[in-house]
Amino acid sequence: MTQASFRNAPVAALIYEFLYDAYRMIGVDRSHLSWLSDEKATPLGVFDHGFTSKWEWSASILKEVGAIIPIEPPDLPALRGDARRTVSTPFYTPAMTLEACHATDFSSFEAFDNYCYAMFTLDQHVADDDHLSFTSPRFLDAVAARDDIFEVDAFCRVTYSRDRFNEKVMTRWDEMQVREFKAT
């Protein structure tokens, strides 16, 4: 099967989904992370990816496109030399609203390898029953209806096809010598 026969969701729509999830996490963690909140430095809130793979991967994409920025915890500057360079922060704040993200031109990231990287990341959020652990109100039209990994029935129920994901994304993933999300 050739790549031309694939129906892929736009990478920009996947970026939006990851930022939507970051905002969802901000809502959940608001009281827990109040010690990092600063109305001037973090007006859109703070989230913690908790060094959990699925959120680390989506944070890496969001950071690369400029949608989020890292926040250093107050005790990190106290570390010295090599210890400080090896410690990365799990704390981030959005650099854009969801509306700004939707309006941003992410065309420099619209490459098949970036799509595979983003779908691999999204797949980490798929539960054992092949349902996503989060989706924005835009997900159905912006992602599911535009990508052949998802099937949308007459009642707007979305089914995730693990076989199609493996055939399309993982085949390319296994071929990729360098797995990174970057502008083309």
Residue 126: predicted pLDDT: 83
- pLDDT, tens digit, for every residue of 79-94? 455 554 555 788 999 9
pLDDT (tens digit, 9 = 90+) per residue, 48-60? 888 888 899 999 9
pLDDT number for residue 32: 67
- Residues contacting 34, CB < 8 A, separation 6+: none
**What pLDDT, on a 0 to 100 scale, did the predictor assign at position 1?**
42
Question: What does pTM read for this prediction?
Answer: 0.86
N residues, the chain: 184
Nearest CA to 36 out of 73, 67, 87, 63 is that of: 73
| Coil/strand/helix, residue 19 | helix
